[in-house]
Amino acid sequence: MSHGHVKTLPPSLRAWAERVVGPLSAVQDASHPRETSRVWEVTGSRGRRFFIKQSASAALYERETFGYQSAVPALGFGRAPRLVETDARQLALLLTAVPGTPVSRLALPGPEHRSAHRQFGSLLRRMHGTDKMPGAGRREARAALERLADDAEHHLARAGDLMSEGRRALVRRSADHVRKLTDLLAPAHIHGDAQECNALWTGPAVPAQRAPVRHAPQPAPGQLAVIDFERSRYAPAVQDFVRLACGPWQDRDDLRAAFFHGYGRPLTDAERQALPCLAALDAASCLAYGPDHGKHDVTARGLRTLARLESGAWGTFV
């Protein structure tokens, strides 16, 4: 749901959607609280819910369209929205609605929270499947990692005084090490923004019990669905673990263990080396982007990540 100014569904988008699904009985702004986000929840005359999303750029539109067409079907029925129609001229996608609330907005008890992460791991493994990955996809995954390392200097320049010389050196070392690991990291079709706000949970939500439970993951009621594929692309699979490692997995070894139980394999040695380095690069990106866009949570994530890395807590990411 958007905050502040409500964004009105343009008449041209409404007319396009109604040609596909029939008359709309209700329209509600569902954009994120940023100017470039344009999403509307709409209801058809028969009560079916859909989402209309207008991409902020042609590149994001192409990525999301490709993601829904090529990778999302592997997730299974009800585990992600279904692409109904696209309009390249308006950079618009018409998507089915899936039930659930973002995990980030819920206070889940221990078993449900672990189940959500276990299912998240299982779904990302399906999406990451590389058995039929084309050669072009593998080359694109390698190039994506190299660009990520190359962008570090740009992010350091934009971060300005938020980065001490020691932290700048840490980021540069991380970029250099990532380049050395390029050929060792498994390529995948990644989600690109795998975090709890893009994971919808259907099931009970009660005040969370934050103490980690040290036993094997147990089944819990509820189902997870994944949304928002505008950053899906070919890249090393480990890139999909960065935002989780820098977020909910902090001080929650049980969530990380549940995720990889669902993922079906542990990190490789190269991925164990890469993840803290990618976290450092993500932190630099956060400090380049967050302050300029008023995203205090993004800035805080970057500072928190660098503090963990600076203290020598590399092992907490893996």
The C-alpha atoms of residue 186 and residue 263 are separated, in whole angstroms, by 14
Burial level of 140, CB count in 10 A (0-12/13-18/19+)? Answer: middle
For the chain, the first-to-last Cα distance in angstroms comes to: 34
130 C-beta neighbours (distance < 10 Å), count: 14
- Give yes or no for a contact between 41 and 30, defined as CB atoms under 8 angstroms apart: yes
Output the pLDDT for position 130. Answer: 57
The C-alpha atoms of residue 64 and residue 52 are separated, in whole angstroms, by 13
Structure tokens at 228: 């928002």
The C-alpha atoms of residue 283 and residue 12 are separated, in whole angstroms, by 40
Output the pLDDT for position 253. Answer: 95
For the chain, give the number of residues: 318
Output the pLDDT for position 318. Answer: 62
| Of the candidates 108, 59, 115, the residue with the CA atom closest to the CA atom of residue 88 | 59
The C-alpha atoms of residue 45 and residue 36 are separated, in whole angstroms, by 29
- Give yes or no for a contact between 130 and 186, defined as CB atoms under 8 angstroms apart: yes
- For 79, list phi and psi in degrees, rounded to 5: -95, 0
73: Cβ contacts below 8 Å, ≥ 6 apart? none
**pTM given for the model:** 0.89
Output the pLDDT for position 280. Answer: 97
Distances (CA, A) of 69 to 81, 109, 281, 295: 11, 35, 30, 31
The C-alpha atoms of residue 281 and residue 313 are separated, in whole angstroms, by 16
Determine the 3-state secondary structure of 70 from DSSP: helix
Written as tens digits, the pLDDT of the chain (318 aa) is: 445 578 999 999 999 999 999 999 999 999 987 788 899 999 998 899 999 999 999 999 999 999 999 889 999 999 999 999 999 999 999 999 999 999 999 999 999 999 999 999 999 999 998 557 778 888 999 999 999 999 999 999 999 999 999 999 999 999 999 999 999 999 999 999 999 999 999 985 443 444 333 333 444 579 999 999 999 999 999 999 999 999 999 989 999 999 999 999 999 999 999 999 999 999 999 999 999 888 899 999 999 999 999 987 666 666
